[in-house]
Structure 1
Amino acid sequence: MSKINPLFFALGIPVVVIVILVAIVAPRMGGGGKFADLTPFSVEAYRKDWATLQGNSYRLDCQVEQQLAFVEGRGRVLAVKPIEKDPTRPAGRIPIFVPAGSTDSFEVGQRFKCKLRVTRDLLVVEALERF
């Protein structure tokens, strides 16, 4: 019966641990998460002419500023601050509607990546994840 070289364990175990950590951490640092394939939501374009965006879905990275309304069984309206790539052009706050089906709790300061659908009167959240 042959012995396994201790060098195999000394080098093999750390390599396996590093590969597992990279597999877990890399997708989280990749950017858009599960909404990476969506076009980023443009607050400027929405404020200029929301009708051109109507019916489309977008990705919005935002931070919760305030809960504006809550209706049991319907959902809630949140005021959020978009997280802009260019901090010299702040977008201000925008309202989004989160339907009642969402099981997430929302607190001031929390950050979310949202899949938004632009409708006539609302920015409706179709899906979201914290980051």
Structure 2
Amino acid sequence: MRKKIGECLIQAGLITEEDLRHALAEHKRTGERVGVVLVRMNLATEKQIAKALAFQLGFPYVNLVENPPDPAAVVLIPKEVSIKRVCVAVGLEKNLLTVAMSDPLLFSLVQDLEFQTGYRVKQVVATRGEIIDAIQTGLSR
């Protein structure tokens, strides 16, 4: 069984058990995801959450500032879809489209993208902020 995101962050020494208890109480109250709550409460950064999520789920983490998306790949997903679903195509190799997303558990998104683009989709994790910046930058070229 995989570890929960809070456990991953505690193990990495990024938050305390007390921090997690506070975040879980807020999560229960608001229904927001624990990672979102931790960022909102300034207990973790968006990047720390993204890296922990990638580790937890076994997906690669990509820093889109250091590794900007290939402009030829970005345009393969319509801007409206990228913005609404918080994802951006970052690379294309043969019939494999690499897509950065902040929530790689959106399997319906993967299926939709494979259908819309005609490519197999490989998921990677990036922060929501970096994805949105990459969409704006990549589609304004």
TM range (shorter): under 0.3
Higher helix share: 2
TM-score by length of 1: 0.27
Which structure has the larger Rg over C-alpha atoms?
Answer: 1
TM-score by length of 2: 0.26
